[in-house]
Structure 1
Amino acid sequence: MAKIPGPPSFDGLKRRMAKHRAENPTRKDHFVRQTYCLGLIDARAKAREWFDEYPKAAYWTEVESWRQLDGDRIEFTMRRLPSAD
């Protein structure tokens, strides 16, 4: 009877992940981030809330990234400093 081969070894993948993490350490930039997925109108309102509550000049508030999804939904990440000096 033939032996069924087991799952492939993940040693190579683990080594590549460790190398990547060593070469690209986790970013420690101290920004506060929040990601949302909302309809277009609601997304605009949420971004406006952030800019009203955390003014760009004091908190460096910005829409860090965004993309349009199916159904007129927007996924976006807001970024700001935790406090103004």
Structure 2
Amino acid sequence: MAPFKKIKRSSFRKALRARAAFISEAHDDKIRFKNDSADLVIYLNYVLFINSIVNEIKLLKEKDNSNDLNLVHLNNIKEKMLKKFKG
């Protein structure tokens, strides 16, 4: 695996704002960021949380060899991710 390349905070902020603008246009709402970095961290944690849930769902579907997920499966995944991201 290649090491991560460091980028400038301003470049990261521009890319994140551009992506947020694209998402907000699709959903007819406005995503605004303040000038401090707290909102960026919160947004990235949210994206990481959603990504982790999706990955767990994929693993569970492969494990069970099924295309359906039960409410029990979703609750187990939710509890597992909430414990992982508890801060």
Higher relative contact order (CA 8 A, sep 6+): 1
Higher strand share: 1
Q: Same fold (TM over 0.5)?
A: no
TM-score by length of 2: 0.29
Higher helix share: 2
TM-score by length of 1: 0.30
Largest Rg, 1 or 2:
1
